[in-house]
Amino acid sequence: IDSLYRINIEWADYYRSRINEFSIEKYELQRIWAEKEPLNGSIFGDFDKEFNDNHKMFLVNSPDCSQYIDLDSYQINIEKAETGALIVKGVEVDQEINLVNRQTKEIKRISFFGSASRIESVKWINDNIVVLYGIMDGKLIIKVIELKELIYFLYVYPSVIKEKGNFNKAIRLKEVKFE
C-alpha cells in the first residue's frame, strides 16, 4: 500500500513505542467511499480578522501552501498567557477537520469525529492527497483523502491500543500547556 502513503514517521514511532510488534503492514483497508460535497467549515481561516493567530503554528500547509488543514480551531482554544506561553482555554469533545483554501477563501469540513475518536496528525502527500492519523474507538486509524474527487480510504489497525498516551500533548502540541 506504498507504506500507507509514506506514513507520518513521528506519529508511527510514538505508537510503535506503545504497541508490541507494531507494523504498518497490519493495517487493514476497512472502507472506501466518496462524498458529494463537503459541508462548509465552522472556523475562521488565517485570512479572516477573527482567526486566532495562536493556532497559526499548528496549521499543516499543502506543498504549494495554497491550502492547509486545520485540526484544532474547532476543538481547542489556544491563548497566550501573560508569560507568553501558549495555553489551552477550553476544549470541545468533537473534532472538525477543515481544509482551508487561501486562494478561494473557502473552508470545507472534510472530516468530523465524536468524543470516542480524534485525529492527531496530518500529512500532505501532494496538493490533492492528505492523510489523517488518529484513533477511532480505541484503534489506530489512517484516513486517506483524495481532495479533488472526495474519495476516502479508511485503514484500521486490528488491535485496540492498551496504553493510548496522547500524541497531541506529547508531540504535536508540546508547546501548549493543557490546563
Q: What length does the chain have?
A: 179
**Nearest-angstrom CA–CA distance, 59 and 135:** 20
Residues with Cβ within 8 Å of 109's Cβ and at least 6 positions away in sequence, in order, are 38, 39, 40, 41, 42, 96, 97, 98
Return per-residue pLDDT of the chain as tens, 179 residues.
455 546 788 888 888 888 888 888 899 999 999 999 999 999 999 999 999 999 999 999 999 999 999 999 999 999 999 998 999 988 899 999 999 999 999 999 999 999 989 999 999 999 999 999 999 999 999 999 999 999 999 999 998 887 667 888 888 888 888 87
Q: 14 with 165: CB under 8 angstroms? A: yes
**Nearest-angstrom CA–CA distance, 155 and 152:** 10
